[in-house]
Amino acid sequence: MNDRETRRYDMFGRAKTFGQTNAADFAAGSEATKRFGNVSKIITDLDAAKANQQRDGTTSKAVLMDALRLDVQNITRTARAMDQDEPGMADKFPPPKSSSDADLVTTADNILGKLAAAPGDSPATQAAKAALVAKFVAHELPAGFVQNLKDDRAAIDSAQDSIESDDEEGVASTAAVGRLIKDGMKEVNYLDAIMHNKYARDPDKLRAWQSASHIERAPQREKKTPAPSPTPPPPQ
């Protein structure tokens, strides 16, 4: 929620507390009791909407990227070592062009294209890929390093789908917050009229209601005092 919405949310909470404190003043099923109940429900719904606005996919994706980066580093570093006796090996498995996630994913895809068996591969291509894999395994990469790379790469796509879904939920939750704030203000407007009628001869409680239903203003920014213009030197 933004600051404007938060100030109204806080006011709803004060109005709810006022209704609970003074519940004995209102008959069960009265208009005031109904409106206070509506405010309480709106607060509950706002809490749920606020929770849905928070996204938690970014950290998990970062962790997955670190795992993919380690996979790629192990393969490209091994290729550079083999290049000393097999020129061209490092060129087949170059490192990412930059530290960006996009370049890392592109590099992983290129490596998989050279090492992972694909459904359309010919027998000769399958044999060539298996021979390349065997060379890396001979340099102590795990026997399943290609499958590990495939799994880590697939996890990135899965995390991205989750984040995009969270983003859609966040947009929907933001719209819900706006609607609920509007509904809450409507209920408080009803209650304001009721409280003025109810407590017309009870100034203390009326002031308590006015304090509870008051919306705090946003703090004003301090105005910067312009620096004084430098005094020109006296004419010579």
Q: What is the pLDDT of residue 66?
A: 80
Q: What pLDDT shows up at residue 59?
A: 37
pLDDT tens, per residue, the chain with 236 residues = 678 788 899 999 999 999 999 999 999 999 999 999 999 999 999 988 877 665 444 434 666 788 899 999 999 999 999 999 999 999 999 999 998 989 999 999 999 999 999 999 999 999 999 999 999 999 999 999 999 999 999 988 877 655 455 555 555 667 788 889 989 999 999 999 999 999 999 999 999 999 999 987 655 545 555 555 556 655 55
User: What is the spatial distance between Cα 149 and Cα 112, in angstroms, rounded to a whole number?
Assistant: 8
Which backbone phi and psi does 178 adopt, to 5 degrees?
-60, -40
Instruction: Give yes or no for a contact between 43 and 9, defined as CB atoms under 8 angstroms apart.
Output: yes
**Domains of the chain: total:** 2
| Domain final residue pick, 127, 144, 162 | 162
Is 235 a domain residue? no
Classify residue 216 by its DSSP letter. P
Q: Residue 227 domain-assigned? A: no
**Is 236 a member of any domain?**
no
199: left (phi over 0), alpha (psi -120 to 50) or beta: alpha
Domain boundary among 162, 193, 221: 162
112 lies in the same domain as 139 = yes
How distant is the alpha carbon of residue 150 from its chain centre?
27
Q: Are residues 146 and 201 in the same domain?
A: no
Is residue 67 assigned to a domain?
Answer: yes
Contact status, residue 75 vs residue 116, Cβ threshold 8 Å: no
Is 228 part of a structural domain of the chain?
no
Domain that includes residue 35, residue range: 3-56+166-212
* pLDDT at residue 2 in the model: 73
Q: What is the pTM of this model?
A: 0.48
Instruction: Give CA–CA dist 80/33, Å, rounded.
Output: 76
pLDDT of residue 75: 97
Residue 199 has a pLDDT of: 96
pLDDT of residue 224: 53
Co-location of 79 and 139 in the same domain: yes
Q: Which pLDDT score is estimated for 124?
A: 96
Q: Which pLDDT score is estimated for 169?
A: 52
In a domain, 14, yes or no: yes
User: 135 lies in a domain?
Assistant: yes
